[in-house]
Amino acid sequence: MPLTNPTGPSTTAPTAGPRLVEGRGDLSDAVVRSLRSCAPPRYAPAAALQADPWGEDLQLALYLMYEPHYRGFEGVDDAREWDPDLLRLRQALEARFLHALPAGLPDAPRTAEDAFAPLLVEPVDLSGSLSHHLATEGELWQLREYAALRSLYHLKEADPHVWVIPRLTGRAKAAMVAVEYDEFGAGRAEHIHARLFADLMVDLDLDPAYGRYLDQAPAPLLATVNVMSLFGLHRALRGALVGHFACVEITSSPGSRRLAKAMRRCGAGPAAEHFYAEHVAADAVHEQVVRHEVVGGLLADEPDLEADIAFGSAATVLLEDRLAQHIRTCWDEGRSALRTALP
């Protein structure tokens, strides 16, 4: 079910790649200098092996090295996408991140059914839910911060998941393409989900330029985006990417219902409310297709990937919980969840 935009054509226009931001430590500094100068990144190998997998430095460095696979950065040669020196550093940091994910999941599910079953039931206690907080008591400034944070993904929504399509066959491939077709507007540029989110940002008086809020995004947010690129760029992790995608689709509809209510309650504007209201119906359909056809088809073709699918879903929940905890802690303390507050 493709999304439509009742507010008319988008007010945004395509832009060039975003500007590079400054680093947040030795590793991200090395990546920034390398991208600017076309020279190999200079860093101590021990620093990569010992970096905090959840820290600002590692997560920003990974994001900066993944972004050339998307739109790149202003003034950076497109050829750096496959620079062997950057790839060597990226591999080391990915290993740190990949080791930390299962370490944070001591009771991780081993089957797709075990991974998805808890997600299919609405919790009785929603007190820890970020979308519930926004729907019931959130303020407009909090909605603006939430949108600025989520823009790092939503302005390239569905792009990381496309990488799995050539790695699937039969039922799984056909169903994945069908869902992605909707994500990309069913052939209509003005209906592309990323475009609709840009319109949401305009309603919230935010800058809809791609990558605009990278410098304000903290590590817990960067990790939620990086994990998609990590899973998507490695064929060996195709099962984990499918598990991630299924988790997102299963949890999207109820969360979107609450966020649409939040936008309506705060008077955020028609495009802001519309983005989430339409996801309620669209993702309810997508959830069924992904679970039964994409996941079911992949398991029929490659049953050995079931543990990877379960891991991808569980890792998604872990990272989303870490982000929600960061945001709620900041807001409860009366401060911005961004690295620097919005104007």
| Residues contacting residue 207 through CB under 8 Å, at least 6 positions apart | 201, 213
Sign of CA pseudo-dihedral 88, 92, 93, 95: positive
pLDDT, residue 334, reads 95
pLDDT in tens, 84-95: 999 999 999 999
Measure the CA–CA gap between 80 and 230, rounded to whole angstroms.
18
Please give the model's pTM, rounded to 2 decimal places. 0.93
Measure the CA–CA gap between 238 and 246, rounded to whole angstroms.
12
pLDDT, residue 280, reads 87
**Using the 8-state DSSP alphabet, how is residue 67 labeled?**
G
Measure the CA–CA gap between 18 and 28, rounded to whole angstroms.
17
pLDDT band at 3 (very low <50, low <70, confident <90, very high): very low
pLDDT in tens, 39-71: 999 999 999 999 999 999 999 999 999 999 999
What is the length of the chain? 343
| 6, pLDDT greater than 50 | no
Average pLDDT, integer, range 91-117:
95
| 161, pLDDT greater than 70 | yes
Average pLDDT, integer, range 4-18:
51
Segments making up each domain of the chain, as ranges: 26-103, 112-332
Measure the CA–CA gap between 186 and 208, rounded to whole angstroms.
22
Q: How would you class 286 by CB atoms within 10 Å of its CB: exposed for 0-12, middle for 13-18, buried for 19 or more?
A: buried
Measure the CA–CA gap between 90 and 99, rounded to whole angstroms.
14
| 12, pLDDT greater than 70 | no
Homologous superfamily in CATH for domain 112-332: Heme oxygenase-like (1.20.910.10)
| 2, pLDDT greater than 70 | no
| 111, pLDDT greater than 80 | yes
Average pLDDT, integer, range 312-325:
97
Measure the CA–CA gap between 285 and 278, rounded to whole angstroms.
11
The rounded mean pLDDT for the chain is 93
Q: Which amino acid is at 88?
A: R
pLDDT, residue 15, reads 41
Residues 256 and 136: beta-carbon distance below 8 Å: no
Query: What Cα–Cα distance (Å) separates residue 152 from each residue in 173, 213, 292?
Result: 27, 7, 29
More confident: 295 or 253: 295
pLDDT band at 14 (very low <50, low <70, confident <90, very high): very low
State what percent of residues in the chain have pLDDT above 90: 88
State what percent of residues in the chain have pLDDT above 70: 95
| 125, pLDDT greater than 90 | no
Whose structure tokens read 């605009």?
212
Measure the CA–CA gap between 26 and 48, rounded to whole angstroms.
9
